[in-house]
Amino acid sequence: MRKPQPFPHAVAIVGVGMSKFGAFPDKSSRDLFVEAFRELRATVDKGFDPAVIESLYLGNFSSDLFEGQGHMAPIMADAVGLCPVPAMRLEDACASGGVALRQGVLAVASGMQDVVLVGGAERMTKLPTAQVTDTLGAAADTLFEIPAGFTFPGFYAAIATAYMHRYGMTPEHLMNVAIKNHENGALNPKAQFGVTIPDWMQGRIAAAVKKGKPAPTWRDQWDFLHDNAANPMVAWPLRLFDCSPVTDGAACVLLVSGERAREFTDNPVYIIGAGQASDAALHDRADLTTLSAARGAAAQAYEQAGVRASDIRIAEVHDCFTIAEIIASEDLGFFAPGTGYRAAEDGMTARDGARPINTSGGLKSKGHPVGASGVGQAIEVFKQMRGEAGARQVAGDVPLAVTHNVGATGSTCVVHVYERR
Ligand code: COA
């Protein structure tokens, strides 16, 4: 494979927008995308005319099955007034948003385009959970895996089991990830679950009292997380609070060439590395405790950017299940294989830790509208790097950051490196 080269043209993010993530029975993904685009327009510091946008790259996994609407890219382009510019939908399962971002980056980096819109959207909650599970299952190997009874919680349970067996991790270690991400999500007004686990417990107690039922008597959040009624097993060892939820949401970012960035803002955030790699489906892998596509994508992105893992200040990673965040923290080179769970336990990945991960709340708490998630990650990094993340802002400068977006069980992974100059 060709050695990654620095981009011929610099690529900057100059504006971002996202809908709230959650369950919105009265909104289509089109409505959510319009909300996201309106917010983007308001965040471009010097304003801009949407007529300068040359293309739309849209991440969307399966609007066909989730909403009965295929061919989503031109529909979204029309909804935000971009027709007749070219609009294309990128589909790589839960990495669709990150892959769309990389295509937009390559278009600008090549010099072919100066201003592109990258978006992502998914409306999942129209279907009941069982059908959502089947629809997501289409991203796995439907010849060898799904007929064997696998679902996505089941795949990641297999990954967690292999990791526990090799490295001695326990299910309690996974709970550290859920607790941290809910703490972060509680500070994110766009998060689906914008509450800490203790607040969640209080809500449950208040609801029980209101209904005249006996109030639960959990000692603390650990007790709550071990309660089979409050936090049921989904696929051993993964419980409800180890899973990302089913989510509706949309997100978009405006990419422009470095030459033109200052027309839009004096505070651009540059993307300096964009790696992507593929792998066989999970059943065909020798090692379940690492995602080789993530390691490959990270290696490419770091080399292109001329940085090392140790240079990165914060990361938004694909925590579709708690185990996925632990493995991501190792695949990105932050922690040695088999030590990511200890780093989470020691608070190293907390907002005030040495390497904050998922300050947005991650997919676990912010929500996971699969086609939009990768774009949502870029938005969090943009805000943190500009010091605009509000109550969840990390201390000090954020000169370098990373996003890591996974499709299925790691058959696709895309990693971006961001720089604040
Ligand atoms: N974490 C914490 N609580 C959750 C939750 C989650 N991920 N998902 C739902 N809940 C809560 C709901 O808020 C609701 O709480 P309430 O009773 O206080 O209102 C309760 O659990 C039941 O919600 P419901 O939507 O009926 O849950 P469900 O049992 O149908 O679905 C999962 C739960 C975990 C099966 C579903 O969220 C899921 O499939 N997640 C994984 C999605 C996925 O695979 N994505 C792709 C990854 S690659």
CA of 153, closest atom in ligand 1:
44
How confident is residue 3, by pLDDT bands cut at 50, 70 and 90? confident
Centre of ligand 1 to C-alpha 403, Å, is 24
In 3D space, the residue among 165, 162, 163, 142 whose CA is nearest the CA of residue 152 turns out to be 142
* Closest C-alpha residue for ligand 1 atom 31: 129
CA of 246 from ligand 1 middle (Å) equals 6
Mean pLDDT over 312-328 rounds to: 98
20 and 29 in contact (C-beta within 8 Å)? no
- Say what the pLDDT of residue 335 is: 98
> What was the pLDDT predicted at 384?
98
pLDDT value, residue 379 = 98
Q: What is the mean pLDDT of residues 311-340?
A: 98
- DSSP letter at 20 equals P
Is 94 catalytic? The answer is: yes
CA 270, 62, 317, 300 torsion-angle sign = negative
Q: Predicted confidence band at 26 (pLDDT cuts at 50, 70, 90)?
A: very high
Atom 44 of ligand 1, residue of closest alpha carbon: 152
Which runs of consecutive H residues, i.e. helices, occur in 306-402? 322-331, 340-345, 362-366, 370-385
Spell 244-277 as b/e; 16+ CB within 10 A means b: bbbbbbbbbbbbbbbebbebbbebbbbbbbbbbb
Which residue in the list 94, 243, 252, 413 is annotated as catalytic? 94
pLDDT bucket at 79, cuts 50 / 70 / 90:
very high
Q: Which residues have any ligand 1 atom within 6 Å of their CB? A: 94, 129, 133, 136, 152-153, 234, 240-241, 243-246, 320, 368
Ligand 1: distance of its center to the CA of 106 in Å?
Answer: 36
The pick from 127, 129, 238 for probing ligand 1's pocket by mutation, whose C-beta has the most ligand atoms within 8 angstroms, reads: 129
What separation in Å is there between the alpha carbon of 313 and the centre of ligand 1? 31
* pLDDT, position 240: 98
Say yes or no to pLDDT of 117 above 80: yes
Torsion over CA of 419, 50, 120 and 412, rounded to 10 degrees?
-50
Question: What is the reported pLDDT for 4?
Answer: 86
The mean pLDDT value of the chain amounts to 97
- Which one of 182, 318, 368, 416 is the catalytic residue? 368
182 is catalytic: no
Mean pLDDT of 401-412: 98
Check residue 111 and give its pLDDT: 98
pLDDT band for 50, please (50, 70, 90 cuts). Answer: very high
Largest interatomic CA distance in the chain: 66
CA distance 154 to 2: 36
pLDDT at residue 27, as a whole number: 97
Closest atom of ligand 1 to CA, residue 409:
48
- Summarize pLDDT for 168-197 with one digit per residue, the tens: 999 999 999 999 999 999 999 999 999 999
CA distances from 312 to 69, 200, 213, 229, 399 (A): 39, 32, 49, 40, 8
Q: How long a stretch of residues is the chain?
A: 421
Residue 1 has pLDDT above 80, yes or no: no
Other C-beta atoms lying within 10 Å of the C-beta of residue 346: 13
Distance 147 CA to ligand 1 centre (A): 23
For the chain, the straight-line distance linking the first and the last C-alpha, in angstroms and rounded, comes to: 30
Which of 246, 291, 317, 365 maximizes ligand 1 atoms within 8 Å of its Cβ, making it the mutation to test the pocket?
246
Contact 317, 145 (CB under 8 A): no
Q: What is the pLDDT of residue 208?
A: 96
Shortest CA distance to 159 belongs to which of 349, 333, 358, 340?
340
